Amino acid sequence: MWFWRNLHRQGPVRVITIATQKGGTGKSTLAVNLAAGLALEGHRTLLIDADPQANSTYVLTGDQLLQPSLYEVMVTNSATLPEVAVSCRLALDLCPSNILLSAADIVLSSVPGRERILSRKLRALTGYDFVIIDTPPSLGILTVNALVASGEVLVPVGMSTFALIGLGLLEDTINQIKENLDIENLHILGAVGTFHDRTNVARNTMAALEERFGSILFKTMIPRTVKLEEANNRLKTIYEYEPNGAGAQAFQALVQEVMTHGQE
């Protein structure tokens, strides 16, 4: 059903933005390993790094100053997504970020229709089953462009005392974007618990998350494990770094959940 429903859509079949306003919740780690996991399942996947910090770009390529990048696509309008996309792994391409993108908010502030630049670029894109977008921990023009261009938002929630604040803010923002820009088909695909461990704080945060967002909470939780930190540090996906460890198993389960959510 899902396949036929999407067959005649313009652009890639599913566009998923990873976003929260809170920093350090595991967005980039999630973006890299979700995109890599989907590619390992045989889905042609493009990871767009829309964060000027270029963390996903760095993990996948070892370089954070690649040019051309999303800057040329969105800000100078001098390149298309296929022109800047680099092949990183089998079935996995990356549209790199660059620190230049940190000027986007100022440079684009007077451009009419600036919230829809990425959406327009994605509509012309073919050949991908999934596009995953990594965003900065703020709601500037880059995150708004990612949300407007997406059908779905995946929200990582770190197990910390202040975790739920970012989630509430993001929900408000999505509703505002839907109202102000007249976009109906954007929805929260789900919240994913990250940095999960056996502490009381994690238990309390999960309980609060289940109470407030139970219906959209993914069954899979990403464990806090130094192997994920090390994989990022060694410029590897978790499947390459420790394929049988808890981190890889959690990400494989999450990939399956993301794939089945889309078929409902």
Binding site for ligand ATP (CB under 6 A): 23-29, 51, 53, 55, 137, 194-195, 222, 224-225, 228-229, 232
22 near Mg ion, rule: CB under 5 A: no
Supply the minimum distance, in Å, between the C-beta of residue 230 and ligand ATP. 8
The residue type at 108 = L
Kindly tell me the burial class for residue 172, based on how many C-beta atoms sit within 10 Å of its own C-beta (0-12, 13-18, 19 or more): exposed
Q: Maximum distance among all alpha carbons in the chain?
A: 51
Nearest to 262 by CA among 148, 133, 157, 154: 154
- Judged by beta carbon distances under 5 to 8 A according to partner kind, the member of ligand ATP, Mg ion, none in contact with residue 194 is ligand ATP
Site for Mg ion contains 55 (CB under 5 A) = yes
Q: What are phi and psi of 88, to 5 degrees?
A: -110, -40
Name the residue nearer to ligand ATP (CB basis): 57 or 225.
225
| Contact region with Mg ion (CB under 5 A), list: 25-33, 58-66, 209-217, 233-241 | 25-33
Which of residues 15, 16, 21, 27 is near Mg ion by CB under 5 A?
A: 27
Backbone angles phi, psi at 17, to 5 degrees: -95, 135
SS3 46: strand
CB of 195 vs ligand ATP, minimal distance in Å: 5
Q: How crowded is residue 10: how many other Cβ atoms within 10 Å of its Cβ?
A: 9
Residue (76 or 233) nearer to Mg ion, CB = 233
Report how far residue 43's alpha carbon sits from residue 37's, in angstroms, rounded to the nearest whole number. Answer: 9
> Which of ligand ATP, Mg ion, none does 228 bind, CB closer than 5 to 8 A by kind?
ligand ATP
Point out which residues bind Mg ion (CB under 5 A). 27-28, 55
